[in-house]
Amino acid sequence: MADTDKTPLLKTALIYDFDGTLARGNMQEVSFIPSVGVDIGAFWEEAERLTKQADGDGILMYMQLMLHHARQNGAPVTRETLRQHGEAVALFEGLKDLSWFDRINAFGARYGLEIEHYIISAGLEEMIEGTPIRPALKHVFASHYVYNEQGEAAWPAVGVNYTTKTQYLFRINKGVNNHWEHERINHFIPDDERPVPFERMIFIGDGDTDVPTMKMMHTKGGFSIAVYDPRSNEKDQKKVYSLISEDRVNFVAAADYREGSALDLIVKGLVGRIAINAGTMPAGF
């Protein structure tokens, strides 16, 4: 058994989607879309219409539409304005005070594991930067803009959609914390030389847009958990539970990050299983 006082902790990744997983609803809807004078429903309808007309990527189209309406409203988008909108995002219970991260980190350390927290999201990195949980995160892989000399968002630099999310599992697996470095991603690295093996990964997502990532995690030997808004209706909850019967996820739970919740117990159980499989479980546990 590992002696955690002498043996370096093994890196383990806890990876999250954002909208619907860590926060209620879509981050753009909380304050940004209302601030540019557009109805939320009308905004998404317009984004969908433009995406179909252009045969384009829906993420890039909504990002460009945000810039369009902001400019029309006389309020160019900057990193700071997006960060401020991120401050208004409604996080689920147990996250805002960082107690979830502190508790899971301490629990992992007891089992010889160093827990690193990542986000893979189609939402905006700049808004996530404004949330109180950002200091607890190792890295954020999310959509973001490129900025001009005046510091204004000029166009989308990265759009993370439901299929491209899967590539970021490999970036975490190989220790590549950026969007642009492809050589290391494509280069063969023996499994035992990768910083975070798939077997030491847990992915938490909320549904349809995360299914490819959940399925890949599931088949690669890692673990996946589907969460739902505790306030959602029974129909929406059943839809998430169907992911288990379809063998796409390992567990389903409400997005409640407080101590003693079902999600808390599931994640701790998986951390324990990872420790047993990795041989880091201290004697006496």
**Quick check: 6 pLDDT over 70?**
no
Structural tokens at position 214: 């959940």
d(CA 47, CA 61): 6
> Which letter, b or e, does each residue of 134-164 get, where b requires 16 or more Cβ atoms within 10 Å of its Cβ?
eeebbbbbbbbbebeeeebbeebebbbebeb
Pairing of strands 223-228, 251-254: parallel
Contact 159, 57 (CB under 8 A): yes
Global pTM reads 0.93
Q: What are phi and psi of 78, to 5 degrees?
A: -125, 170
Q: What is the pLDDT of residues 48-103, one digit of tens each?
A: 999 999 999 999 999 999 999 999 998 889 999 999 999 999 999 999 999 999 99
Contact 91, 80 (CB under 8 A): no
Q: What is the pLDDT of residues 215-271, one digit of tens each?
A: 899 889 999 999 999 988 777 777 787 887 777 888 999 999 999 999 999 999 999
Identify the residue whose tokens are 């502190």: 102
d(CA 198, CA 191): 9
Beta partners for residue 181, in sequence order:
none
